[in-house]
Structure 1
């Protein structure tokens, strides 16, 4: 009987708090889980939390702020103090707005503050952040409160949140306070606010991969975490949402040994994130058996046309791919004059070289077409060549493979790398040279080869290059080996491979249990393997050019891999000239 009364009372309180949320926000579609436990300790605090959630939804974008918090945590931010700072700034941003609109809330608000002071005094006094919160609450209740200079400076910054016109202004204040109070080294070690906001949904979902392979699937895991963070950020109470991300953060850069049961489901997950393969099971098995040997014997190859072309279902990765394509197209439109100029220059260089190869030369000979005007020489001169013969230039055909590094290290350059691939592809199409364009990255034990266009595809396929996006790691040696294997099957006499990379082969996140090659694929080990595959292709007659698309400090590594045949592109304006010189050199060789 007593339990029934308590359940009825709890339901009544939940409804009351929820009604406050809806009334204040004016949005009756908002969902929340009222904290009845808080209500049992402080009626005013529980009611005010509901009011604040409604007000925050009315004035600001709670999803944007919630995603900021998750991204900051992903980049090593500490969840508890970050959420606490967000709570203080949100209170300042909306508190006075609520009171002005609804004066009847003043009493509930002040009582909530007083209850918080009474209940958490001892806890708040133990840390600088706690003392900041205590001082803000006391000043709201009393009108003024004397504090040390450092706390006062932080308080003034919190008060700036009251003037925040939009959610990004509020985020700037929260981020600045966190970096000052909690982690002064955050920007130096992990990046600025711009870096935080640039974290993609794809990165976030990769973070908790163990959960993603559950039946709930990864998007639900991320949604659940974002929801918890979002609910927590408007409460004044201290809450630890979860320990999972902290534990994962500690092992983020170590090799992870996957459970065999997880690996059995990994193929499905790769399909979800990179699109269905275009190979049938027999072809896929044959290529893996033939190419995944020696130091790559525990790896697998996955060939796809991308998630946008062959998605399994609508998920976060599909939405991310669409957004990245839009960003790449925006970069193209922003630089379209430069791009068109590069395409035109490179096309002209290729066409001139091809014309030179196709030109024929007429020479005097002892056989061929007779020249009547030279007949008098017969019997009268030692130079008795009275025939004209046409010598045709080498008419050997060409085929080109373009291989683009699509690992996470290229994330900041996605738009420019996509443009580089597009420029090459358009120029080769104009010159009617068959070519294929693929990108590569490595996720778990799968090296994914994303084919944008095949050798004999129509020129329209070049637009697929704007679907280029980056993720995970890169096992360069295996990707080059796989691309080279198919290139060598072509009938054309002259074969060229252009590799756009940052010179940093890196694949250390996952190894199979009892792997035959447990050594991480990084450093000298990976560079040596990648260089070996490049030299192997050259020995088999393939001309290999490395186009460096990375940071200057990694140039030395690029030289070790590609030797003298590599190009460093500092600005895209010079792209066609540098790549064109190499291609024309190959086209004109032995002509």
Structure 2
């Protein structure tokens, strides 16, 4: 097989992963070293893929990967560009270990040469323009390595080339870090030290500073168990390579477009399920119940999706990992905001409770009617034999105030992060008021993580009021597949015996779930724009046709109001001011609690 010939990786992915791991373990000498081989590099060339594994092993052997990774994270924390810093580190690391590993294992040299040639060949058209020093530096570094040290370059490039060459003589990790830092500051951002800090200031960043920062944003679509640690691993893996990741991603996207069906093995599905469990808590359904719900709900546009039902990582964690601590911090922030707005919240609860109570009193009032059965009315006995409809009896028709059930469904996607505390408070106000008037209700949030739509249940329909506190466990992350969440919540609501069913949905009017080659995922069709809005609106209308009253409470930005109107029609509330929350929601609920015509 030609080195540059693309490889169809899915059929023997495990074999390719094992080959790369064996190279890494052999070179590093550490058979306990863990890594996630990037088999997608085989799409580019065999040499690139295998040399990538060799370099990761060599980096672990000659240098302290953890120390290097921590420096990279701290530099990015101090506002260095992730892509640019990775690029600079890749050049320096190749210079630092490339020759060492070849001298120790001469058989690697031919693979190394082929790797460099394939990179130059594949990335030539993607190389930055002549004005971009970074792109020209990479070309010069690779050509110099291919010509065994001989090279010719312009005078402007010479200082950068000398810095890269200096990396080849580094004896320890700190020396290598200093070279990378100098190259970044001179090539990428000459004003970095003045605007952000020296290397010493970068290294002085504490772990407390880092763990307070939300690294999930930098992890993009990747799975994370402990965000900071995973981001460090991601960076140290990326800097070990030399190839342009964008070219690899483009090839992978082309391959996915050619393949109509993505086959996910049971082992891959099990691994994804385990990761979801680690990040969102243990599911409260049995395996059989979960399969049944997936079979019933995940159809049509959602056919490649999965559902996951949980009471949250804080209630049912697998272990106390980073995500557990992160959720605990966000819960404390929600509670802090609640205490900060305590007076307003209490007033809203009181007003909404009173509004609901008045409506229920009216509904529960008895009404006396004349009938052909019941208690005899003496004053009407004269009608016997004189009227066809004598109706000499009086019957009392008792009102029913307990024939209602409510579902509160909250959008918990990452786009709600800036409003997280306010949304939690809104849900809490509704739940407290419904508890005060003893209307059964359930509160759940939803988000989509990989192909799993996570339904986080804070309280069940008939739980006591004390369970309302769980709403402050509300945490936002990832995407949102609103249509699937509404369909699933509606299914349970329709099983209830109460005659009047109400669903209140707190969302930002932006259904969005786009999956790009997530590992171990089924990769459903992108869920966004018109497709997502139409699907969400259709699920709302379907519930209304089944006599469920659906209210949308808009918790988003004004520019998304038109989308919210398309989804919910006239039954939606836009609440700009929390002080008016009870009045607006109360008006809608009162309308639903009116005596049926």
Instruction: Please state which band the TM-score falls in when normalised by the shorter chain.
Output: 0.5 to 0.7
Contact kept, 8 Å, 2:451 with 2:523, in 1: the verdict is: no
Distance 1:277 1:244 in 2: 40
1:200 aligns with 2:214: yes
Distance 1:573 1:248 in 2: 52
Q: Which residue of 2 aligns with 1:222?
A: 231
Contact kept, 8 Å, 2:264 with 2:520, in 1: the verdict is: no
Contact kept, 8 Å, 1:259 with 1:513, in 2: the verdict is: no
Decide whether aligned partners of structure 1 residues 326 and 388 sit closer, same or farther in structure 2, where only a CA change above 3 A counts: same
Paired residue secondary structure (1:456):
coil
Aligned 1:53-64 pairs, distance under 5 A: none
1:551 aligns with 2:551: no
Distance 1:160 1:126 in 2: 22
Distance 2:582 2:295 in 1: 38
Aligned 1:278-427 pairs, distance under 5 A: 278-363=284-369, 368-370=374-376, 388-395=394-401, 397-427=403-433
Distance 2:330 2:243 in 1: 28
Contact kept, 8 Å, 1:445 with 1:511, in 2: the verdict is: no
Match of 1:522 among 504, 521, 528: 528
1:484 aligns with 2:484: no
Match of 1:505 among 493, 503, 511: 511
Distance 1:305 1:578 in 2: 29
Decide whether aligned partners of structure 1 residues 574 and 345 sit closer, same or farther in structure 2, where only a CA change above 3 A counts: same
Contact kept, 8 Å, 1:364 with 1:387, in 2: the verdict is: yes
Gaps of 5+ in 1: 1-36, 39-49, 54-61, 84-120, 128-150, 172-195, 230-238
Q: Which residue of 2 aligns with 1:462?
A: 468
Paired residue secondary structure (2:301):
helix
Match of 1:69 among 56, 69, 76: 76
1:273 aligns with 2:282: no
Decide whether aligned partners of structure 1 residues 516 and 419 sit closer, same or farther in structure 2, where only a CA change above 3 A counts: closer
1:581 aligns with 2:595: no
Distance 1:159 1:522 in 2: 42
Contact kept, 8 Å, 1:205 with 1:219, in 2: the verdict is: no
CA RMSD for the aligned pairs? 4.9
Distance 1:416 1:354 in 2: 28
Distance 2:580 2:500 in 1: 26
Distance 1:513 1:77 in 2: 21
Note the C-alpha offset of 1:461. 0.8
Contact kept, 8 Å, 2:305 with 2:522, in 1: the verdict is: no
Q: Which residue of 2 aligns with 1:104?
A: none
Note the C-alpha offset of 1:519. 3.4
Note the C-alpha offset of 1:388. 4.6
Moved more, 356-365 or 405-414: 356-365
Paired residue secondary structure (1:438):
strand
Distance 1:569 1:325 in 2: 23
1:265-288 per-position Cα deviation (integer Å, ceiling 9, x unaligned): 211111111111000001111111
Decide whether aligned partners of structure 1 residues 386 and 567 sit closer, same or farther in structure 2, where only a CA change above 3 A counts: same
Note the C-alpha offset of 1:293. 1.1
1:563 aligns with 2:555: no
Decide whether aligned partners of structure 1 residues 245 and 334 sit closer, same or farther in structure 2, where only a CA change above 3 A counts: farther
Distance 1:383 1:508 in 2: 68
Contact kept, 8 Å, 2:272 with 2:520, in 1: the verdict is: no
Note the C-alpha offset of 1:328. 0.6
Aligned length: 438
Distance 1:208 1:512 in 2: 7
Contact kept, 8 Å, 2:303 with 2:524, in 1: the verdict is: no
Distance 2:307 2:80 in 1: 33
1:23-56 per-position Cα deviation (integer Å, ceiling 9, x unaligned): xxxxxxxxxxxxxx99xxxxxxxxxxx9xx9xxx
Aligned 1:10-25 pairs, distance under 5 A: none
1:451 aligns with 2:457: yes
Note the C-alpha offset of 1:400. 0.4
Contact kept, 8 Å, 2:431 with 2:468, in 1: the verdict is: yes
Contact kept, 8 Å, 1:201 with 1:317, in 2: the verdict is: no
1:139-192 per-position Cα deviation (integer Å, ceiling 9, x unaligned): xxxxxxxxxxxx9xx9999668899xx99xx99xxxxxxxxxxxxxxxxxxxxx
Paired residue secondary structure (2:495):
coil
